[in-house]
Amino acid sequence: MHFSMIAASIAATAGLAAAAPLVEARQGRPPANFYLQSKVKSQSPKDLGSNKQDLWLSSYHTGAGLGAATFFPNKSSAAVASLNATGDIYQTAFKLGDYEWPMAVQYGPYQTMESVTISVAGDQDNFGFYFNDNGLQWNYTEFTGWAACDFWYSGSPSLFATVSTNKNADLPVSCSEIELVAVAA
């Protein structure tokens, strides 16, 4: 009788061990180094601007040490990212040259969309990112998702965080709701 209980315990433990990688995948752990790629949500309103599907995120230089989170069509233009942890809080950092530049959501009161930077001058919101089944998320109570919008910086779409402070507002017609998925570097 004890043997069958031991055997059942070993079988159950082996089953849990085999399931462990699946649990990690559901929790959305990205590779150590990854690129962020855009995936347009199927329910996204009709975007009258440029294509936002399968673009690669990088930083577009806007000033000394400053950059806007901008998408490019070629993977060769993408910046390699990683998650840096301080306790349970994560920072998404991009390797640009010899330095890691943090991604940050810029605060804007009463806005539906907040600009995102990849810059040495990140503000207090550069911590609080995590991954789930829908890709990169921002750990902010008002966060509702990501948008890629045609913008004037580079002729390529820029990244914005959408927030629920103005629930009746629609995205501009040059924007698509997107997910940011990790692709191993």
Domain ranges of the chain: 1-30, 31-184
pLDDT at 3: 37
Average confidence (pLDDT) over 38-57: 87
pLDDT at 19: 31
Mean pLDDT score of the chain: 78
Q: Which CATH architecture has domain 31-184?
A: Trefoil (2.80)
Q: Which amino acid is at 117?
A: T
pLDDT at 152: 72
Q: What are phi and psi of 78, to 5 degrees?
A: -75, 150
- Answer with the residue of higher pLDDT: 155 or 176: 176
CA distances from 51 to 29, 40, 43, 135, 166 (A): 28, 9, 15, 20, 26
Q: Is 132 helix (H, G, I), strand (E, B) or coil?
A: strand
pLDDT at 86: 62
Per DSSP, what are the bridge partners of residue 56? 37, 72
Share of the chain above pLDDT 70, in %: 75
pLDDT at 71: 96
Q: Residue 18 — pLDDT band, cuts 50, 70, 90?
A: very low
- Answer with the residue of higher pLDDT: 15 or 131: 131
Q: Residue 28 — pLDDT band, cuts 50, 70, 90?
A: low
Q: How open is the CA angle 36-98-62, to the nearest 5 degrees?
A: 65
Q: Is the pLDDT of residue 98 over 70?
A: yes
Q: How far apart are CA 92 and CA 144, in angstroms?
A: 18
The dihedral formed by the CA atoms of 33, 180, 183 and 101, expressed in degrees to the nearest 10: -30
Q: Is the pLDDT of residue 32 over 80?
A: yes
